[in-house]
């Protein structure tokens, strides 16, 4: 797998060198730009996974206008590129402007390497998840999520009922099912669709920083608090805040969150004066919060405030009818992105996709299809291009007849190396009967 590429845009050579050294030691490939013009040239010439952007490119200015203008240009050519802005102690207000203009996060100089790498990993992971589920959305004004299965139709019917109600939403489901994408969809069809949408991954922020991250801090509140800093709730004011992995929040953080939900106020760390915020909260978790409550790790009162509406996203194995649709969308997107000829799937490949257990859900499907698009020699993706390792089956007594048939076909195709005639012979079927079963799996 190729290394992720990070572009560093800063006018100071020592800053560029220091950042490159830290990132390269963690396995990233780096590039450097000393000016906005050079940054735009590099961004247009190559593919980058993230941008570290200084807001001031001349020693005699602190306005940040050059950096903000560059951010705007970057978002015009690649709206989804994660941009992390770098700010001096006195330019936090600029960083907030940058966040509202599309930056993913900001770091204050001098930065801590642990914090830098944590923020970068979190943003790269969020972008990977967004790309993995990007084909779930149809370019309709309503931002409808692509689906055809009965289970997802039920989910979307519930979303349609609650999107305009300004109440908290709790999205549950396994990792990789698209909880973040659904949160964005809810925000996009709500009355706050044109307001900020701010994401916080509670599993990626160190416990020592979480309250400052959420609620902000005052200058001098702790050793490294060199200036006042707004938290994510303030940045999301009038909009939507999405708290991913809410099950990872500590009990003290949970208490603070409960207070925000009850009175609509936050207090920065180190301050006594509360600040009023107006946000819609959407939370998500892959944990069983009822079990956490029973074990004393999650507050029951917070749970009841969060799940005014609870939406359970089904795992991909329970929405098999969506797989051909999603795989087709992922394939076209990947082929276009990598300039590859693949346009469709052979019957053996589609049979494997629809019988695989998908422990990584939609995210895993996206990665498998992207790899297949790169490996396929022509317009058709074949079984060998998928490089799937069939997962162990459930016990036979827990299989339905359809599941058993899917598993047997998948195993036979894998054993036969994708040779449909050999697989048919192994199963004691005629070639025509075998192909009829393959065709039925695609419906």
> Can you give the pLDDT at residue 97?
82
Q: What's the CA gap between 429 and 421, in Å, rounded?
A: 9
Q: Give CA angle at 22 (78, 207), nearest 5°.
A: 85
pLDDT tens by residue, 279-326: 999 999 999 999 999 999 999 999 999 999 999 999 998 898 889 889
Report the distance separating Cα 161 and Cα 154, nearest Å: 11
Between 315 and 426, residue with greater pLDDT: 315
Query: With contact defined as beta carbons under 8 Å apart, do 203 and 65 qualify?
Result: no
Beta bridge partners of 108: 87
pTM for the whole thing? 0.64
CA 32 to chain centre: 26
pLDDT bracket for residue 415 (50, 70, 90)? low
Higher pLDDT, 158 or 206: 158
Percent of the chain with pLDDT over 90: 44
CA distance 17 to 108: 17
CA distances from residue 439 to 332, 347, 349 in whole angstroms, order as listed: 21, 7, 11
* Nearest by Cα to 373 from 359, 386, 390: 386
pLDDT at 234 over 80: yes
pLDDT band at 418 (very low <50, low <70, confident <90, very high): low
Q: What is the per-residue pLDDT for 261?
A: 93
pLDDT tens across 79-136, in order?
889 999 987 755 667 777 888 888 888 888 888 888 888 888 878 876 765 665 443 3
Q: What is the pLDDT at residue 28?
A: 92
Q: Which of 167, 175, 252, 267 is nearest to 218 (CA)?
A: 267
């Amino acid at each position: 797998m190729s290394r992720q590429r990070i572009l560093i845009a800063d006018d100071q050579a020592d800053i560029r060198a220091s950042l490159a050294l830290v990132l390269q030691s963690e396995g990233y490939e780096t590039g450097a730009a000393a000016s906005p013009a050079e940054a735009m040239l590099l961004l247009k010439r190559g593919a980058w996974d993230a941008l570290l952007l200084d807001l001031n490119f001349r020693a005699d200015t602190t306005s940040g206008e050059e950096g903000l203008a560059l951010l705007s240009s970057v978002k015009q050519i690649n709206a989804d590129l994660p941009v992390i802005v770098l700010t001096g102690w006195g330019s936090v207000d600029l960083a907030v402007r940058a966040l509202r203009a599309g930056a993913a996060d900001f770091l204050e100089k001098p930065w801590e390497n642990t914090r830098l790498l944590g923020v970068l990993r979190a943003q790269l992971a969020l972008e990977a998840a967004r790309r993995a589920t990007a084909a779930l959305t149809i370019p309709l004004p309503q931002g409808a999520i692509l689906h055809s299965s009965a289970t997802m139709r039920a989910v979307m019917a519930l979303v349609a009922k609650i999107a305009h109600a300004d109440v908290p939403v709790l999205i549950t489901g396994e990792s990789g099912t698209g909880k973040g994408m659904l949160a964005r969809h809810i925000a996009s069809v709500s009355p706050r669709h044109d307001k900020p949408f701010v994401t916080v991954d509670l599993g990626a922020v160190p416990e020592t920083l979480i309250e400052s991250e959420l609620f902000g801090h005052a200058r001098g509140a702790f050793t490294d608090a060199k200036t006042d800093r707004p938290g994510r709730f303030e940045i999301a004011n009038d909009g939507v805040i999405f708290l991913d992995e809410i099950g990872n929040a500590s009990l003290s953080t949970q208490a603070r969150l409960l207070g925000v939900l009850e009175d609509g106020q936050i207090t920065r760390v180190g301050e006594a004066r509360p600040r009023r915020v107006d946000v819609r909260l959407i939370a998500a978790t892959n944990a069983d919060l009822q079990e956490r409550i029973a074990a004393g790790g999650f507050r029951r009162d917070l749970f009841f405030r969060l799940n005014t509406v609870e939406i359970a996203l089904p795992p991909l194995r329970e929405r098999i009818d969506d797989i051909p649709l999603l795989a087709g969308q992922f394939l076209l997107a990947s082929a276009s992105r990598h300039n590859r000829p693949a346009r469709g799937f052979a019957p053996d490949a589609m049979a494997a996709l629809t019988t695989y257990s998908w422990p990584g859900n939609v995210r895993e499907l996206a990665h498998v299809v992207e790899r297949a698009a790169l490996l396929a020699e022509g317009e058709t993706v074949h079984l060998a291009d998928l490089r799937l390792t069939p997962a162990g089956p459930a016990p036979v007594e827990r299989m339905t007849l359809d599941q058993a048939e899917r598993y047997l076909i998948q195993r036979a195709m894998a054993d036969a190396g994708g040779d449909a005639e050999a697989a048919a012979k192994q199963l004691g079927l005629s070639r025509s009967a075998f192909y009829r079963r393959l065709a039925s799996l695609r419906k």
